[in-house]
Amino acid sequence: MIEENGSMLESGLDELLRQYNQLLELFQGMEESYEMNGLIEKMNRAFRQVCEDVCVKRLQCDIVTLHDEILASDINAHFVVYEAEGEEFDNIMRQYKMPAGEKLQCSISFTTYMPTELQLARAKCICELVYLYMSRAKMGIALTDALHRDLVTGMPNTKAFFDFGDKLFNEYTIADYCVLALNISNFKYVNQTVPFNVGTSVLVRYAHKLLSFIKPDELVTRSGGDNFNILIKKESLNEFLENVKVVPIDIKAGGIKTRFELSCYIGVCVIETRMSIQVAVENAVSTMTMAKHTPYSPVMYYTEEIGEKQHHINQVRAKFAQGIDNHEFVAYYQPKVNILTQKIIGMEALARWEVDGRIIGPGQFVNILENTRFIMELDRYMLRQVCRDIKRWESRRLEIPRVSFNLSRINLQNTNIADEIAAVLDEYHVDYDKVEIEVTETVDSEEFIYLANFIEKMKHHGIKVSIDDFGTGYSSLNLLKKMNADVLKIDRSFINLEHFSEKDELMVRSIVNLAEAYGMEVITEGVETEEQIEFMLKVGCHNVQGYFFDRPLSKEKMTERLEIGQYDKKFTV
């Protein structure tokens, strides 16, 4: 191979190396973590090994004249030969006598060398390697972006939120911000009003309205469902809260324009110096949950008291499984009494938690468990406890009135729950007419269907069903018409009054008469005073439950009360 061809190859090599350097500079500006220098060095070592394995040598031959009469420049020559092999040719020196008497000296040397062809191949591979990794880096950036985006709304997601919060924390600017946990109020109404895809569009528009309420150095993210987390500067908080009080969303569905005016619940955690973003979010979410269950307080700020409540919630959830295993949950029974005869006509089983000799009431744990699926496990546990107590009372030949048992609404989503209840009663050989299942009325249309199906299945088994807390929902009268329940329990809110007006009397009497016309038994709960007893007599509801006759009793105390069978309270009939 002559030197001219070598120059052409070297020129091509220079161009490839120029492209390689340009790509490498671009790559290094992409803030990626790929170890390009290490990869290229590894590739270079591999190429050197290839050269050594094929024993490629560079042969350099220098010829000079030793004749005084001939100018050396006229005969000197230099050329390079490739692909000479063999260690024995490392160095050769020869002198030749030409026919005309001149003498030539030929000096030949071989050195291990990476030929230009291999250098070209190396440069091409480097360029391809850089291009490949740049492509992967760009794909990585796209993937990272996807991991930080909510697929429904296109806005940042929870991972983006925590990454941004960690960045603020590391830069010591986190204390300039607040964390907000936001939940859209009653978004179910939207999904009940318009098709699901239209409801999704409403959610997307709401999300982008939130984005329009923040500044460039603040962040709104969707954490799932109709929940959002916001990182907002303290100086912007009041303006943001004002903007989200009511957010109007206009949308077309089936050619009809509909406007939804969406309000929300918000929990606010004002971040303190060096508070981690994880702690701030937990505080904000627990505060928002409190706001949802606190009337007329759609916005709440995190306090130490709320923190203590959240700690209690965490403790209940953590200790529940142990409580079940140790049989710490027991049934207490509150009698239901007929005012006229003062006989016990029923009793309701209520859960209590015995811990270290203390009795914890349901208000301390039932609502907490209802926010998880633990409540379903507790319901099944309590049903078995009731069955065992009924069999013990039967063994003592006591007259046992119907025992009601409150079933959490979340169980109704289990289409087999009616059969499972019947199976437990069969397992303990308890007559179906000894048990009554109480379920709370609902305003949700989907739950309404679950409830109706459950009642029909229970009727098929011959097990009575009671509608608890009647009057607290928006569709109560419709419920009376559509539900084939056996018992109606009027909520205590109808009688928890200082004075009873004619309207109060007319309303409650109408409910009693309507329920009885539908063939339902009626009982009023929360009766505590003689005035309430007299009111119940006026409206014609003779079955009551409440402190006036007895508080919830332990199994042993209830046994004593069953042995007596009735009360002897003095009041005006």
3 state SS of 30: coil
Greatest mean pLDDT range, 60-64, 175-179, 478-482: 175-179
pLDDT at site 74: 40
Four-CA torsion 319, 323, 324, 327, nearest 10 degrees:
180
pLDDT at site 572: 66
Task: Give 474's pLDDT tier (boundaries 50, 70, 90).
Answer: very low
Q: Is the pLDDT of residue 200 over 50?
A: yes
Q: Is the pLDDT of residue 569 over 90?
A: no
Q: Which residue has 């015995």 as its token pair?
A: 354
Q: Is the pLDDT of residue 476 over 90?
A: no
What CATH number does domain 158-302 carry, 3.40.50.720, 3.10.580.10, 1.10.645.10, 3.30.70.270?
Answer: 3.30.70.270
Spatial separation of the C-alpha atoms in residues 95 and 106, rounded to whole Å: 6
Other C-beta atoms lying within 10 Å of the C-beta of residue 294: 11
Task: Give 96's pLDDT tier (boundaries 50, 70, 90).
Answer: low
pLDDT (tens digit per residue) in 212-243: 899 888 999 988 889 999 999 999 999 999 99
To the nearest whole number, what is the mean pLDDT of the chain?
80
The domain limits of the chain are: 3-147, 158-302, 327-487+543-564
Spatial separation of the C-alpha atoms in residues 343 and 399, rounded to whole Å: 11
User: Considering Cα of 191, then 195, then 196, then 200, what sign does the dihedral take?
Assistant: negative
Residue ranges of alpha helices (H) inside 326-416 are: 366-370, 374-395
Give yes or no on whether 158-302 and 327-487+543-564 have one common fold. no
Spatial separation of the C-alpha atoms in residues 400 and 565, rounded to whole Å: 9
Here the tokens at position 524 are 């009023």
Q: Is the pLDDT of residue 315 over 80?
A: yes
pLDDT at site 549: 95
How far are the Cα atoms of 319, 322, 343, 387 from residue 326, in angstroms, in the given order?
Answer: 11, 6, 36, 19
pLDDT at site 39: 59
User: Considering Cα of 300, then 306, then 311, then 314, what sign does the dihedral take?
Assistant: negative
pLDDT at site 345: 95
How far are the Cα atoms of 372, 411, 420 from residue 454, in angstroms, in the given order?
Answer: 21, 10, 12
* Beta carbons of 111 and 57 less than 8 angstroms apart: yes
pLDDT at site 76: 40
pLDDT (tens digit per residue) in 98-127: 555 656 666 656 555 556 666 666 666 666
Other C-beta atoms lying within 10 Å of the C-beta of residue 468: 22
* Beta carbons of 355 and 323 less than 8 angstroms apart: yes
Residue 8 or 494, more confident: 494
Task: Give 332's pLDDT tier (boundaries 50, 70, 90).
Answer: very high
pLDDT (tens digit per residue) in 383-415: 999 999 999 999 999 999 999 999 998 898 888
Residue 214, phi then psi, degrees to nearest 5: -115, 165
Name which of 499, 545, 557 is nearest 339 in CA terms.
545
pLDDT (tens digit per residue) in 33-86: 445 555 566 666 666 666 555 545 555 555 555 554 444 444 444 444 444 444
Pairing of strands 77-84, 299-301: unpaired
Q: Is the pLDDT of residue 553 over 80?
A: yes
Q: Is the pLDDT of residue 435 over 70?
A: yes
* Beta carbons of 77 and 63 less than 8 angstroms apart: yes
Name which of 208, 152, 182, 186 is nearest 260 in CA terms.
186
Least confident of 51-55, 330-334, 377-381, 496-500: 51-55
Q: Is the pLDDT of residue 545 over 70?
A: yes
* CATH number corresponding to 327-487+543-564: 3.20.20.450
pLDDT (tens digit per residue) in 357-386: 889 999 889 988 887 789 999 999 999 999
How far are the Cα atoms of 71, 159, 276, 324 from residue 221, in angstroms, in the given order?
Answer: 86, 9, 18, 38
* Beta carbons of 258 and 197 less than 8 angstroms apart: no
Spatial separation of the C-alpha atoms in residues 317 and 311, rounded to whole Å: 10
Residue 353 or 105, more confident: 353
pLDDT at site 23: 57
The length of the chain, given as a count of residues: 573
Residue 31 or 525, more confident: 525
